[in-house]
């Protein structure tokens, strides 16, 4: 009787361990955060892990640096040449989501959905915009989601820098 209870208990523990696979992977983002001096650009700090939705197993990405740090560094790098006196760019409400979409007749696709709200003030001319980028890439069962996240975030931050550049140009055109 005691052996049966132990056997059943061991089987139960083994089955519980097999049922829920949860993967947590650290994402190194330091290469995207380059030191650039442009204190006139700021992005509200964010923290947190990123759940990759749409997978059979639970995948959580843990960025080594906040996504807001990457966005701020990339904006500062791209927009430094656009500086004029009394120009400020402030971004807030950074939201990040990653999903994998499976289709029967096409390869699976991972999409990074990233958005933020930015305010550009050029000597009193203010432009507000809701920025959004949704880069995507095909995925397979062997996809390294940490590397994919870095690549998609790099592309999204560059796209958003282009959109902020357009806002700065619009504000500058009002100065003439």
User: Domains of the chain, with CATH numbers?
Assistant: 22-173 (3.30.160.150)
- What pLDDT shows up at residue 124? 84
pLDDT of residue 18: 44
Q: What is the distance between the alpha carbons of residues 152 and 96, in angstroms, rounded to a whole number?
A: 11
pTM of this prediction? 0.78
- pLDDT score at 67: 93
145's enclosing H/E stretch is helix 145-173
Low-confidence spans in the chain with pLDDT less than 50: 2, 5-19
Distance in angstroms (rounded) separating the CA atoms of residues 64 and 141: 24
* Distance between CA atoms of residues 50 and 109, nearest Å: 17
């Amino acid at each position: 009787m005691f052996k049966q209870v132990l056997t059943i208990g061991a089987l139960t523990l083994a089955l519980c361990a097999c049922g829920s696979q949860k993967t947590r992977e650290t994402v190194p983002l330091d290469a995207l955060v380059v030191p650039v001096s442009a204190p006139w650009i700021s992005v509200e700090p964010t923290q947190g892990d990123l759940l990759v939705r749409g997978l059979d197993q639970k995948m959580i990405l843990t960025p080594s640096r906040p996504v807001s740090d990457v966005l701020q560094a990339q904006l500062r790098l791209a927009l430094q040449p656009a500086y004029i006196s009394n120009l400020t760019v402030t971004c807030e409400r950074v939201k990040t989501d990653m999903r994998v979409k499976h289709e029967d007749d096409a390869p699976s696709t991972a999409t990074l959905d990233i958005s933020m709200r930015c305010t550009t003030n050029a000597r009193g001319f203010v432009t507000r915009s809701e920025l959004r980028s949704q880069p995507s890439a095909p995925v397979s069962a062997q996809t390294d989601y940490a590397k994919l996240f870095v690549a998609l975030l790099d592309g999204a931050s560059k796209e958003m820098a282009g959109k902020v550049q357009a806002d700065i140009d619009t504000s500058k055109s009002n100065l003439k």
